[in-house]
Structure 1
Amino acid sequence: MSSSLTSPSLSDVIDKLLNQSPLDDFVKCAMDVSVPASGAAPKLGLLHVRFQEDIPNTSSLADFLSSQAVNYALSRRRREMYLAQLTAGKNGDLSITTQIQKAVRSAFIEFRKEFPSRASEVGEVLAYCVAVHHLGAAQLVAKMSLKTSTNMPVHGLDGIHASVTNGVLNVFFLESKLAGSAASGTADYAESVAGFGSDKKQYLQEYGLVRDLGNLDALASDEKERIMEYLDVFKKPNAPKRERSVAVVCYSETKHFGNKLPVDDDDLEKHELHFGRLYVKDHERHHQNVSNQLAKYSVDPNKCMIYLVAVPDVDELREQFYESLGIVPAPSDTVLTQSTLDAGGVDE
């Protein structure tokens, strides 16, 4: 590694790329990934949409995610270009903001038009927010901007983020899933992570995107050189870093959201707390389930962490997200919650 006394630290480089995402205002953490389940891997965190008294406030979450879509979808260089134009505007000129909104909306519309069966961008934005807020991990490449570019692969990871812990670089490979149940979402993740782990070509391709088309271009030359000491897997394949797979599974939790307390004039937060207590009781069950699913594909659970994000209806969240972006819902969108409803809302 570089021995220059003036070389920027890894932490400084990551901090320069790290945005803020006040996710706690819209998604509550009922159990953090640091809480062990019987002392076993993988790490599993439980998140859920926040309540407005007794009502899970899905619409506010959708609006928040649509606002975060700007940082998720646009490359760091493009965002800084827009910011410079905004700063240069005279006499309070905000006209550039319409261009920003149009650029974000166009990216989602174009991707949705080309790949209607993969209309899950709300999950990808949510995963971005989880990585930024809960892991303090900066986005290394804006995958959405690449997906809508000619000849760019549409499949692959949903995000690549990085953080620094005690001087060690952590690289997080993000997988987002929208699902009608937690079990189906984690099953999809287990299959996906197994596929990625066994595909050396895709692994190198993802790092190639970071090197050639990522947000690192917004860094100064010495800053980019510093972090590339760890990320250039072509020249330095054994550079010390931790690589972890992170799943963010947003699913329809029909059972517990349906178990409501009566509205009264007592503690205003009792409804959200009531849901949280019910939700946390399922932690061991969810953990055992995803452990079995990972074992089926011989995936090392020690290199995985999973965030379950419970909402009443994931299809409704997706629709409200598109509406907040100004995109008309598409009839081709796959209904995700129907099978759960047919089964009486039980997630085994």
Structure 2
Amino acid sequence: MDNHLQPQLKNPHELKNVLREVPVSYELSDGRVIKTLLVYLPTKDGVSYHSTLFEKIREGILYNFVFSCTEIQKKLGVDDNKSAEKLFEKAIRKISQHTAKGELGELLLFTLLDVYFKAPKILSKISLKTSRRMPVFGADAVHAQFHDGKLMLYLGESKLHADFKSAATKATNSIKSAKEKYVDEFDLLDSYIDFPNINPKLEAELLDLLDPFSSNDIASIIHSPCFIGFTEPGIISGAESEDEFLKKYTDLACDYISDFFGKAEKQGVDINETTLLMLPFSCVDVLVSEFIAYIGIEK
């Protein structure tokens, strides 16, 4: 088997310059090491700066998030200099103002998993929606990658919320639910699995590994990354330099990380089977409003 799945996004270095990583690691109070990814946006005039992110979303993230690789390759393969714009416009028609907040969170989770985890999306749920106002059910992201020859299935959860701790409560409950309902995800994968370097042989081998009705220990390959985007204006507007902001961010994160993993354990989620991805904004509601306006999302 080809022990590598190709990431979907082709400009990871550009995206890492927009969604910037804080190079820091954490342990819980009892010394246990946990997995985290702290990212942040550039700031301007004391607030989080969204325009560059929105540009990248328009240039390709959105349609890569919404559609399968096979459909994108088919559409972009047409000799038409407007094919990318047509894909973008079709992607917008899958999203409504009613669902935009949740789907922006899912889009950010998709981007971080592809860019930082190098794990491509293997199921494009948004493309399967029959109504733009309908949310996605089950896991918010279904990605995969091999690590040391072993397949890792990422069933991701995302929350965009004004309050981190409220989001953590909801997210950890959703993580538990998504794992319990994995059979529903597999049925979709069995019909619609897709990723950049897919071929019939690799597809069959992956589906065999992912089959919950086989003798495989499915629980051992499922990982549950959780993205939480949250409102935190104080650490952004109150910092006079990027270094000061990063210090405030990493200090605040200690409390939030402890809260998240404590809630995960109460839900029966093994802390080794989840990663917390964090991104602060000056205001989540402003972020979503600007996203709707910039992208041109209809009701």
TM over 0.5: yes
Q: Please tell me whether the aligned partners of residues 173 and 244 of structure 1 are also in contact (alpha carbons under 8 angstroms).
A: yes
- State which of 51, 65, 69 in structure 1 corresponds to 2:43: 51
2:121 is paired with a residue of what secondary structure? strand
In the comparison of the two structures, how many residue pairs are matched? Answer: 294
- The structure with the larger Rg is 1
2:89 is paired with a residue of what secondary structure? helix
Separation in 2, partners of 1:289, 1:146: 35
Compared with structure 1, are the counterparts of its residues 290 and 256 closer, same or farther at alpha carbon in structure 2 (3 Å cutoff)?
A: same
- Which runs of structure 2 are paired with 1:192-203 in the superposition (5 Å)? 192-197=174-179, 199=180, 202-203=181-182
What displacement does 1:55 show? 5.0
- State which of 91, 95, 105 in structure 2 corresponds to 1:104: 91
CA offsets, 1:133-163, max 9 Å, x none? Answer: 111101101111123369x983211111111
Separation in 2, partners of 1:10, 1:129: 22
1:234 is paired with a residue of what secondary structure? coil
| Aligned residue number for residue 19 of structure 1 | 9
CA offsets, 1:109-140, max 9 Å, x none? Answer: 3xx5xxx2674211111000110111110110
| Aligned residue number for residue 10 of structure 1 | 3
- Which runs of structure 2 are paired with 1:323-342 in the superposition (5 Å)? 323-328=293-298
Separation in 2, partners of 1:118, 1:57: 19
Separation in 2, partners of 1:294, 1:274: 30
What code does the residue aligned with 1:214 have? I
CA RMSD of aligned residues (A): 2.6
List alignment gaps of at least 5 residues for structure 2.
none
Compared with structure 1, are the counterparts of its residues 124 and 215 closer, same or farther at alpha carbon in structure 2 (3 Å cutoff)?
A: same
What code does the residue aligned with 1:178 have? L
Compared with structure 1, are the counterparts of its residues 118 and 53 closer, same or farther at alpha carbon in structure 2 (3 Å cutoff)?
A: closer
Normalised to the residue count of structure 2, the TM-score between the two structures is 0.88
- Give the 4+ runs in structure 1 shifted more than 6 A: none
Separation in 2, partners of 1:234, 1:94: 46
Q: Please tell me whether the aligned partners of residues 37 and 283 of structure 1 are also in contact (alpha carbons under 8 angstroms).
A: no
What displacement does 1:289 show? 1.1
- Which runs of structure 2 are paired with 1:1-348 in the superposition (5 Å)? 8-11=1-4, 14-15=5-6, 18-20=8-10, 21=12, 22-32=14-24, 35-38=26-29, 39-40=31-32, 42-52=34-44, 56-67=48-59, 68-85=61-78, 89=79, 93-109=80-96, 112=97, 116=98, 119-148=101-130, 154-197=136-179, 199=180, 202-215=181-194, 219-238=198-217, 242-261=221-240, 271-328=241-298
Normalised to the residue count of structure 1, the TM-score between the two structures is 0.76
Separation in 2, partners of 1:243, 1:322: 33
Compared with structure 1, are the counterparts of its residues 290 and 41 closer, same or farther at alpha carbon in structure 2 (3 Å cutoff)?
A: farther
CA offsets, 1:270-325, max 9 Å, x none? Answer: x2221111111123211221122223323222211111111111111112222222
Separation in 2, partners of 1:230, 1:237: 7
